[in-house]
Amino acid sequence: MPSKWVPLEASPDVFNDWSKPLGLPDSLTFQDLFSLDPDFLTFIPKPHKAVLLLFPSEGKLGEAREMEDKEYNGLTGSEGKGWKGDGVWYIKQTIPNACGSIGLLHALLNLPEQSPDALAPDSHLAKFKAESLSKTPIERAKLLDEADFFTAAHTAAAQTGQSAIPEDLDVTTHFITFVEGVNENGEKRTVELDGNRSGPFDQGPSVNFLEDVAKVVQEKYFDRADGDVNFNMIVLAGHPED
């Protein structure tokens, strides 16, 4: 396992190339999310399953996230931002620069089972999820370290992007994923998954998943970035009509 990986380009083509051989269902595709405007969001074909956000991880935004981390009280805490509920798959990130691939795992391994949008049952990802379900997030990371398919998929995807591979791999951007979860009270919630954080974060209600993610991104990322525009968003959703 390399000590430092080449980061993935924030490209739907790269994400689809990474995911299709590993179990991405034919009913879904990764596509650019160019705007948070509610009118634009209506054109994104349903179902809306996940949003991946690339953001500047330093400066005022990074400081705000550090403060938010301090509010986290664990998966069963009575207060704070910690996720309280079952059914959200989460893994810690232990491989530097693998946040794009970790984000893809968080998007794909939280797809519903027994539905048209489920992972291909004999795929690498479905088998990995089944093997990992009984493990803790850090144990899942160890299992992932030993998975040859993950290294191969990341390396191949990193080489298919349009951007030149950077000489300096100490990047200052980071991928996270938003999915919809149901908490212990049966309420639909917007859940942020970041392998570098304390655990899944409950970011508020999910009445309309895509619109609610857009609100979180605007208020907790764009508005805290102090003018930095180094953002990119990709949504996992239904196929656009031809």
Q: Among all residues, which ones are annotated catalytic?
A: 99, 174
Q: Rounded to an integer, what distance in angstroms lies between the CA atom of residue 5 and that of residue 45?
A: 33
Q: Measured on CA atoms in the order 214, 120, 75, 171, is the torsion positive or negative?
A: negative
The answer to whether 179 touches 48, Cβ cutoff 8 Å, is no
Q: Compute the half-sphere exposure of residue 64: CA atoms within 13 Å on the CB side of its CA.
A: 14
Q: Which region, left, alpha or beta, applies to residue 80 given φ > 0 means left and ψ of -120 to 50 means alpha?
A: left
The answer to whether 54 touches 231, Cβ cutoff 8 Å, is yes
CA angle 43, 46, 48 (to 5 degrees): 105
State the DSSP H helix or E strand holding residue 53, giving kind and residue range, or none if neither.
strand 48-56
Q: Which two tokens stand for residue 225?
A: 């970035």
CA angle 23, 139, 85 (to 5 degrees): 75
Q: How many CB atoms lie within 10 A of CB 14?
A: 23
Q: Rounded to an integer, what distance in angstroms lies between the CA atom of residue 96 and that of residue 85?
A: 29
3-state SS, residue 174: strand
